[in-house]
Chain A
Amino acid sequence: MTEATERFFASLPSRAPVALRNSVLLRPVLTGTLQIDLVEGPTTDHWRVAMAPGQAEVTRADGEADARWTSNPRLFDRLVTGETQALAAVLRNEATLSGNVLLWLMFRRFFPDPPGTRDPRQRARERNGRPR
């Protein structure tokens, strides 16, 4: 397990109020436990994220979950640094997703932009001689 992944999970509780911001009426969609299993040879690292509107609680345990992501830890590192994208990884079968997919789609909001990405507005306005 790497530092990037650890830092990522450590940051979730404080980022949840924005990333999982939603009305209570979305509770059924947003509420549930997502387990992330990072498999490397005989070892599996378990990360459980209990999600609710505005909240994410992270624990390290194995158990029942509403949705489950399985991949190797290197792939997950590349997700938490924005270097690759989760759905593409599922399509090429480098990762498996099961259970409540909506929960996972909400979780995607925690992944960062690819490294070095600039605001497209800034680019377009600079080139077209418009300030800001």
Chain B
Amino acid sequence: MKELVSILDGNTFLVSDRRGDIEPSHDRPTGLFSFDTRFLSTWLLTVDGDRLHALSIDDSESYRTRFFLAPGEPTHYLDARVSVLRTRTIGGSFDEQLTVLNHAKEEAEFIVRVEMGADFADIFEIKAVLRKKGRTEATVEPNTLRLTYRREHFHREATISSSAAAEVDEAGMTFRVRIPPHGEWTTRLHVATLIFGARGEDFRATTPLGGTRSVGSIQVEQDELISRAPKLGCDCEPLATAYNRSLRDLASLRYESITFGSRLLAAGLPWFMTLFGRDSIFTALQVLPFLPDLVRPTINLLAGLQGTRLDDFRDEEPGKILHELRYGETAGFEEQPHSPYYGSADSTPLFVILVDEYERWTGDVQLIVALEDHVRKALDWVDTYGDLLGTGYIWYETRNPDTGLPNQCWKDSLDSISFRDGALPAFPRATCEMQGYAYDAKLRAARMARKFWNDPAYADRLEREAAELKERFNRDFWLPEREYYALALDPEGRPVDALTSNIGHLLWSGIVDPERAGRIAGHLLGPDLFSGWGVRTMAEGQGRYNPIGYHVGTVWPFDNSIIAWGLWRYGLRDEAGRVCRAMIEAAKYFGGRLPEAFAGYDRSLTDYPVEYPTACSPQAWSAGTPLLMLRVLLGLEPQGEHLIIDPLVPPGMGRIELLDIPGRWGRVDALGRSRDETS
């Protein structure tokens, strides 16, 4: 059973326990957060001094939860004379309607109390407990409690107001209520989260799109976004559920950048409610055939924030695409490097890939032309700063030993890159998938150079470089005795020989020698990597393999979607279908919402996929997974002004029908059916 309950709208979100309460926590991100600041760290309801417990919870909408509560312990509620309804919504601000119901035949008096507090912790201060450097104050006003935090010019405020008369003190509000027989009492609590700018007004008041939205407008906006997506009809119920859940989650993860006034996608609840270069690029690639409108603002902002200088603290270099952008106190005071931080070595080639893929679907030539300089700078980065050792590969090594990221690939935890025996290589490291991305980026940029930038000489050069890279890579990374590509090279040029899912990304990029693709697929779907629910991040039998290790054994849905896409690219359709089918079956156990990751236990060992303890959910690129898998199953691929549809639906999945797929062709329909069925 799920312990925590979350609601979100963009990067404003609230995480509470199952009663709807928030208690101060330094290890879990519970509370009300907006723009990386915790505006409520205490929110605790009692009736006559008793805590409540949940009879049931309705959390079917991403921005609204309804708790049905009764006082006391679960065993005592049968003859409850009172119950409480707690309905909360989020949309820039946070609103909670509290209704106390008197079930007795007599009038009754209750003391309803809500404890309230804000520690204004930065999201980075939740894991590592730090003393706040500024000052927090509570101000009592009629029916209002104002909690403020100031550090120099940095000023945040949570203003809590009640519609019913309240006795307000610095730690909360008390309501002494008298309720007639079978009657009820209600108050509406409103929590405004204010981020003050220079002139003492809320920052968001001066941005083009405004900050606070009503629940009605969230609903309308989400519905409108979803109505523009293709309609799915299929026999496979888990696929239909996952598709619809994903569209809703993607809609709810959209947020507005305060600084840039554009709508972006946050990466994942609760730790990653902000813009990530890599995550947003992969998500954009996944959703392009479905929600192309989401993609352009992401491309624009990544281009606008492309690195301009050398900055060791931020691992920034000219031409590099950002890793992570945060809005909180620690980023502002340069205690953390996220303003933005550039510590990823793959987001730059991935950016080039996305720009090309975007044009191939949408035909938006204007953007491609406008981005020429940015794409050239990105490719220059690949060949200059990206190639730290001058060997023709992308390498990474942070220059910020205190707060930088040691591993700057998608598997960015500390122990993700290792030899088979578990030993960790020295830095800098060149992981294999980044070389694949660089290869694909060069070929795609060559197409753009020839077609849109009128520079055939540049296109020739890029194609020559890509061919040389492919040859070099297939020589230096291939492990002949094991028949797969090394995970990375260490600074001596030695192959880091663990067997990992990274080889699947190589298929997607096209850098794999076609004669070797079958062997790679054999590993991906072999017993060491394939759990039955999906491809593990690291194969069983490797020194550091752990089925519940973040990047060393768990199964990542996003990773699997890219692997399936890669298998498709090499014509390995049955294998791609197996990966898709396993993932869709897993989705069934998560109510259609694929988490960030789940455990890598063998399917024969557990009858269901085991949730990874601290996985983020919803997570953008997990939500994008069912979409990309639909593309793979239906064999969708733009070619010129047309969309190729070449379905191969795995046995048992029946009919898949995707209507109104948007693109440069207008809208087209795709239909696929399992081979085992006749119509």
Contact = CB atoms under 8 A, between A and B. Distances in A.
Interface stretch (A9-17, A40-48, A58-66, A82-90): A82-90
A97 B259 contact: yes
B154 A93 contact: yes
A101 B258 CA distance: 11
Contacts of A128: 389, 428, 491
A130 B428 CA distance: 13
Nearest to A111: B309
Interface string A105-132: 1001101111001111101110010101
Contacts of B212: none
Given A124-B428, A132-B390, A96 B197 contact: yes
Given A120-B385, A124-B389, A92 B329 contact: yes
A114 B261 CA distance: 28
A80 B57 CA distance: 55
A70 B327 contact: no
Contacts of A96: 197-199
Interface residues of A, number: 42
B259 A87 contact: yes
A89 to B, nearest CB: 8
Contact of A93 (B197, B308, B328): B197
Nearest to B331: A91
Contacts of B390: 121, 125, 130, 132
A88 B331 contact: yes
Contact of B317 (A91, A98, A120): A120
A25 B370 CA distance: 6
A8 to B, nearest CB: 14
B155 A93 contact: yes
B154 A101 contact: no
Given A70-B198, A120-B388, A121-B390, A92 B309 contact: no
B135 to A, nearest CB: 15
Nearest to B329: A92
A22 to B, nearest CB: 5
Contacts of B333: 88, 92
Contact of A119 (B260, B310, B328, B397): B310
A28 B78 CA distance: 68
Chain B's interface size range is 35 or more
Contacts of B261: 101
A23 B454 CA distance: 12
Contact of B308 (A23, A91, A108, A119): A108
A82 B388 CA distance: 23
Interface in A29-72: 29, 70
B272 interface: no
Nearest to A84: B334
B370 A26 contact: yes
A74 interface: no
A131 B1 CA distance: 58
Interface string B336-352: 00011000000000000
Contacts of B196: 93
Nearest to A106: B304
B428 to A, nearest CB: 6
Nearest to A28: B370
B376 to A, nearest CB: 10
Contacts of B312: 114, 117, 120
A88 to B, nearest CB: 4
A11 to B, nearest CB: 15
A92 B198 contact: no
A4 interface: no
Contact of A111 (B304, B308, B327, B397): B308
A124 B311 CA distance: 15
B399 interface: yes
A119 B340 CA distance: 20
Given A23-B369, A70-B198, A93-B198, A85 B311 contact: yes
Contact of A117 (B154, B310, B385): B310
B528 to A, nearest CB: 33
B373 interface: yes
Nearest to A23: B372
Interface in B400-453: 428
Contacts of B304: 101-102, 105
B311 A114 contact: yes
A124 B198 contact: no
A3 B153 CA distance: 26
B551 interface: no
B150 to A, nearest CB: 10
Contacts of B327: 91
Contacts of B372: 23, 25
23 contacts: A25-B369, A26-B373, A29-B370, A85-B311, A87-B259, A89-B332, A91-B327, A92-B153, A92-B154, A92-B332, A93-B154, A93-B155, A93-B197, A93-B198, A94-B152, A94-B153, A101-B261, A120-B312, A120-B399, A121-B384, A121-B390, A124-B397, A130-B390
Which 3 A/B pairs are nearest by Cβ-Cβ distance?
A: A92-B332, A91-B332, A96-B198
Given A88-B333, A114-B313, 16 more contacts: A23-B369, A87-B339, A89-B332, A94-B152, A95-B198, A96-B199, A105-B305, A108-B308, A113-B309, A117-B311, A118-B310, A120-B397, A121-B390, A125-B389, A128-B491, A132-B390
Interface of B: 152-155, 196-199, 206, 259-261, 304-305, 308-314, 317, 327-329, 331-334, 339-340, 369-370, 372-373, 384-385, 387-390, 395, 397, 399, 428, 491
Interface of A: 21-23, 25-26, 29, 70, 82, 84-85, 87-98, 101-102, 105, 108-109, 111-114, 117-121, 123-125, 128, 130, 132
